[in-house]
Structure 1
Amino acid sequence: MTNKYVLPEDWLVKIGRFQVATASKLRGQHKGSHRSQRFGASLDFSDFREYHLGDDVRQVDWNVFARTDKYFIKRFLDEQEMRVHILLDTTKSMAREAKWLFARQIATSLGLMVLGRDDRLSFSYLQEELTPPFRRKGATYRRAFLQVVSALEQANYSGGFAQGALRALPKDSTVLFIITDGLEPVEEWEQLLKRLPRFAGDIRIIQIVTEEELSPKYTGDVRLLDSETGNDVNVTMSSKVLQTYTERRVLHEQQFDAVCHRFGIRKLQLKVEDGLQHAIFHQLMKAHWIR
């Protein structure tokens, strides 16, 4: 595979062994790879129960009747599909090259897991004029999804992510992944998060951060540019300035975590410099978001 794709060829094989894990109620009656709590018509036998008037006589086990002189029917595990939506933050604060690549790699990896398990995937991102989301089911669409995400060359949405996210979401998801850096004011996040439970039963925020954002190494006089607004400011990076930045960042994270917890939304922070393998095979697995 050429470098126009966000993931190497061998990554598709590695990802194929994993799937998204959820305890949320599965939606829809379409066949998938996930066992529901209901009983249906799959080939996986569960147990017997006594025959009741109105039951399908084709399910009667005549071998059991011959042994017990009682009518029992076979019950089979029902299999339903999982519907997973991935929403990618495309605001300008995501545009740093390593951060943007990492965010797309995470989105692609999750999507490939979904498609590889015969579940239904939808994918969207914020843009000035919204287009219908990518919606597919089945492993045959894995490469098509890889191409769609790889084709997103820039994160250049000029609006606020938390303010615009709802218009890019479907309302029929089992699991909703939001991939973002979470830099919008907590008040805007609060307005979004309190509305999300009607879109999905299992909501997860993946926050993408960089070492530079967590612990800036700037010294002396620097000119800082706000990637969202384009405004700039000249700052002398003294120890006091760096300490103030750190305190504000930590406070933002604490408030962000608190509002997520209040609305029953899980959040996981992934650092770009830790790498894709660590994020997928350690952090996501340890959080039981995949298995």
Structure 2
Amino acid sequence: MSSEQLVPKDWAGKLSRLSISTKSNLRGQHKGSHRSQRFGASLDFSDFREYSPGDDVRQIDWNVYARTDKYFIKRFLDEQEMRVHILLDTTKSMGDSLKWNFAKQLAASLGILVLQRDDRLSFSAVNEDKKPPFRRKGATYRKAFVQTISDIDEPAMTSTFTDNALPFLPKDSTVLFVITDCLESIESWERFLQKLPKFAGDIRILQVVTDEELAPSYGGDVQLEDIETLEQVNVSISTRVLESFHRERKEHQQRLELLCHKFGIKILQVNAHEGISHTMFQQLLRANWVQ
């Protein structure tokens, strides 16, 4: 898929109104578009304080000296960068064409937000090839990043996402986005989630679903196949079976959300059928994940 097919040509322009919102401490000493409450050498003036031996004499305000006959220096708010990592699930359960394209659009859109604010972006797709992550900073890399997302192979990993994701994570992220369908067992999610906080101060899971997953439309006698294990089972889809499915899915979701709350992790369920524009400009805004 080409980058033009993944996101519209004017998509970056539309996204320019948004930026990643976080209360997590910004990291690093590199210049970015965010202002910390530390004092440094940006162009944003904060206040004055009296000169002390060892201060940079270039910061003395001579106009203030002329009025007060005392030495005062200017203080400026420090500029720091946000470091954002995007982690993408490429297990076979993500392979539905609508779900997979939507997941890639999410990754591309979030990456564009980061790069156009001159923050540092890293991205990795959890797969068995152990490909090195994408690491760039600055708006000039937006096109290269979208192409990187476009070039990712179709989901083919048969081992579980939660058991393989940790080695793909850097340890210095401000914000970590995890794009997945959350279909692994609750036990495996608990093992994974309890380890995530050491990788980032602000962790957010984007749980990608489809209408068919939420409310299966098929009925009668069917043969179901686990897309990852290829295990097959014959099932007669009755009202009782569907009720059991909805009950178990609801229980899985509730337990997953409780685990996220326990470990201080945010989770947002996004439906591929509602489209990327709805997700970026309505859901993420309402959740205060972007501003």
Q: What TM-score do you get using the length of structure 1 for normalisation?
A: 0.97
CA contact 2:46–2:75 (8 Å) conserved in 1: yes
Structural mapping, 1:223-242, within 5 Å: 223-242=223-242
CA contact 2:32–2:119 (8 Å) conserved in 1: yes
TM-superposed CA distance for 1:32, in Å, is 0.6
Unaligned runs of 5+ in 2: none
> Residues 85-126 of structure 1, C-alpha deviation per residue, up to 9 Å, x if partnerless?
000000000000000000000000000110111111000011
Counterpart of 1:142 in structure 2 is 142
Counterpart of 1:58 in structure 2 is 58
Q: How many residues align?
A: 291
**2:226 corresponds to which letter in structure 1?**
D
**1:9 corresponds to which letter in structure 2?**
K
**1:222 corresponds to which letter in structure 2?**
V
TM-superposed CA distance for 1:53, in Å, is 2.5
CA distance in 1, matches of 2:253, 2:276: 22
**2:90 corresponds to which letter in structure 1?**
T
TM-superposed CA distance for 1:4, in Å, is 5.9
CA contact 1:176–1:203 (8 Å) conserved in 2: yes
Counterpart of 1:168 in structure 2 is 168
TM-superposed CA distance for 1:21, in Å, is 1.1
CA contact 2:2–2:147 (8 Å) conserved in 1: no
Q: Does 1:126 align with 2:126?
A: yes
> Residues 125-164 of structure 1, C-alpha deviation per residue, up to 9 Å, x if partnerless?
1111202100011111100000010111401111100111
SS at match of 1:176: strand
CA distance in 2, matches of 1:57, 1:75: 12
TM-superposed CA distance for 1:3, in Å, is 7.1
Counterpart of 2:215 in structure 1 is 215
CA distance in 1, matches of 2:2, 2:276: 19
Counterpart of 2:264 in structure 1 is 264
More deviation, 5-14/106-115: 5-14
SS at match of 1:9: coil
Change (3 A) 1:2 1:129: closer
Q: What TM-score do you get using the length of structure 2 for normalisation?
A: 0.97
**1:84 corresponds to which letter in structure 2?**
V
Structural mapping, 1:36-185, within 5 Å: 36-185=36-185
CA distance in 2, matches of 1:44, 1:225: 59
CA contact 1:88–1:178 (8 Å) conserved in 2: yes
Counterpart of 2:13 in structure 1 is 13
Counterpart of 1:34 in structure 2 is 34
Change (3 A) 1:149 1:3: closer
Runs of 4+ in 1 over 4 A off after TM superposition: 1-4
More deviation, 49-58/111-120: 49-58
Counterpart of 1:187 in structure 2 is 187
SS at match of 2:246: helix
CA contact 1:5–1:146 (8 Å) conserved in 2: no
> Residues 153-193 of structure 1, C-alpha deviation per residue, up to 9 Å, x if partnerless?
40111110011110111111111000000000111111111
Change (3 A) 1:125 1:138: same
Change (3 A) 1:247 1:109: same
CA distance in 1, matches of 2:57, 2:266: 46
CA contact 1:5–1:147 (8 Å) conserved in 2: no
% identical equivalent positions: 60
Counterpart of 1:284 in structure 2 is 284
SS at match of 1:156: coil
CA distance in 1, matches of 2:156, 2:49: 59
